[in-house]
Structure 1
Amino acid sequence: MFTGITQAVGKITKLTKRHDKELRLTVTTDKAFFAPALIGASIMIDGVCLTIIDKTEQTADFDVMQPTFDTTIVQNYTLNQPVNLEMAMLATDRFDGHIVSGHVDGMATVTRARQAGETVWLTFQPNQSDLMAQIVPKGAITVSGVSLTVIETDQTTFTIGLIPHTLAHTNLNTLTVGMHVNIETDVIAKYLAGINHDEYSNTKGA
């Protein structure tokens, strides 16, 4: 489990195609971010939970299988691209963000970007329209691994605000209109959406 609080920004330093839509990624950091991690440990990269298969103190290798390739921005990765990193949460850790599984629900596209004062406002449209049922104002959402609060929604889009700290310590400062991100909706919203769907189905079938 993760919290959506980015601990480091690394970069993709190697992309090796292993089979069709299967990759091996090498991620490198400026500091010894991977030093305390074990081979086999889980690391969240841009919101995707991946397993370390080899590492040094500053680099780690990860295998990506086809379902992850098909449903996340991993398919768009290029060399030297910055990525948000977070280690799995310890039971004794402070819980600062919200519950994040690292299981991406889909991708979203930036449809609007504007700055007001020191805040950058970004509007996203999920590639799967049904995800909007799980996104509500003042609710939590994970955008490329970053825990954020939804400011407003309409039928097809949601908007978040980025404060200077988030811009300085994540890769969200690189986003422009037309770019894609991974999104994971809040786990509580998932359960509520599932309950509502079941109740509707039962009523419809009665």
Structure 2
Amino acid sequence: MFTGIIEEIGRLKRISRKGQAMVITVEARKVLEDVHLGDSIAVNGVCLTVVEFDASSFSVDVMPETFRKTTLKDLQPGSPLNLERAMAANGRFGGHIVQGHVDSQGVIKERYEEDNAVVFRIEPVKQETLKYIVTTGSITLDGISLTVVLAGDRDFTVSIIPHTLKETVLQHKYAGDALNIECDFVGKYIERFLQFGQDRGDQGTHSRRSSGRMTMEFLAENGFTS
């Protein structure tokens, strides 16, 4: 689990491709301070496992599913990368719960300044992702925990403070560039919970689940009220 607070910007040192599988080697400093084989490191918001490391870099495997679903396949040697180690049990929880599981790529449609902030308007490649994105809710872009300013019918906006821009790869992102999007996981679990009975063909609560309406009877039947 991660928090979406980027620890450093690394650089892609080397890529080894075989079909839709890759091994990427990343130059870094801070995330290597206590690294071990098998550790999880989020690379541009993608949870990856350390398979090799030395004093100045670490290597991770990228499987075909991750290759297809994320922007990692578009990287080139020298590309800047947001890096975050998995959250320590005694650490501060500065962002929100981030799993490192990308829901969709997104394309920046617009970038503009608003006083001391920079606003990004982003359109998800998978439009169905928008159902999990809500105004003032949490969103993760390339591993960065952010707040949605406005969720629209086809896109959404986020507002970036100068510190976040300076300390992350967003400083290099402009209209037309792609990002990894991870939505707040809570909505996905609620959706699955409500659909589960319908998927199994259960009776009783089936009509309420399929209609998407929450009732006191439904909450009582599922242990939320007495």
* Bin for the TM-score computed over the shorter chain: over 0.9
User: What residue identity is the alignment partner of 1:46?
Assistant: N
Aligned to 2:93: 95
SS at match of 1:78: coil
Task: Confirm or deny: 8 A CA contact 1:33 1:57 kept in the other structure.
Answer: no
Local SS of the residue matching 2:32: coil
Q: Residues 36 and 117 of structure 1: is their aligned pair in 2 closer, same or farther, counting only changes over 3 Å?
A: same
Q: 1:63 aligns with which of 61, 64, 80?
A: 61
Distance 2:94 2:152 in 1: 28
Q: Within 1, Cα distance between the matches of 2:196 and 2:151? A: 24
**Structure 1 residue 192: deviation in Å?**
2.9
1:22 correspondence with 2:9: no
The residue identity in structure 2 corresponding to 1:131 is T
Q: Give the whole-Å Cα distance in 1 for the aligned partners of 2:69 and 2:31.
A: 27
Runs of 4+ displaced beyond 6 Å: none
Match 2:131 to one of 130, 133, 150: 133
Q: How many residues align?
A: 203
| 2:133/2:183 contact within 8 Å kept | yes
Contact 1:139 1:150 (8 Å CA) reproduced: yes
Taking structure 1 as the reference length, what is the TM-score of the superposition?
A: 0.93
What does the per-residue CA deviation read over 1:27-82, in whole Å, with 9 as the maximum and x for residues that have no partner? Answer: 002x3531311011000000100011111232001111100000000111111000
The amino acid of 1:136's aligned partner reads V
1:98-130 CA-to-partner distances (Å, cap 9, x unmatched) read 000111111011011111122110011111111
Alignment correspondent of 1:120: 118
Structure 2 unmatched runs, 5+: 200-205, 212-226
CA displacement, residues 135-163 of structure 1 (integer Å, 9 cap, x when unaligned): 00110000000000000011110100010
- For residues 179 and 197 of structure 1, the distance between their equivalents in structure 2, rounded to whole angstroms, comes to 35
Aligned to 2:156: 158
Scaled by the length of structure 2, the TM-score of the pair is: 0.85
What letter corresponds to residue 153 of structure 2 in structure 1?
Q
Which structure has greater strand proportion? 1
CA distance, structure 2, for counterparts of residue 191 and residue 103 of structure 1: 14
Q: Please identify the structure whose Cα radius of gyration is greater.
A: 2
Distance 2:191 2:119 in 1: 27
| Residue matched to 1:185 | 183
Q: Greater relative contact order: 1 or 2 (C-alpha under 8 angstroms, separation 6 or more)?
A: 1
How far apart are residue 187 of structure 1 and its match?
Answer: 1.1
Any gaps of 5 or more consecutive residues in structure 1?
Answer: none
Identity %: 33
Root mean square deviation, CA, Å: 1.7
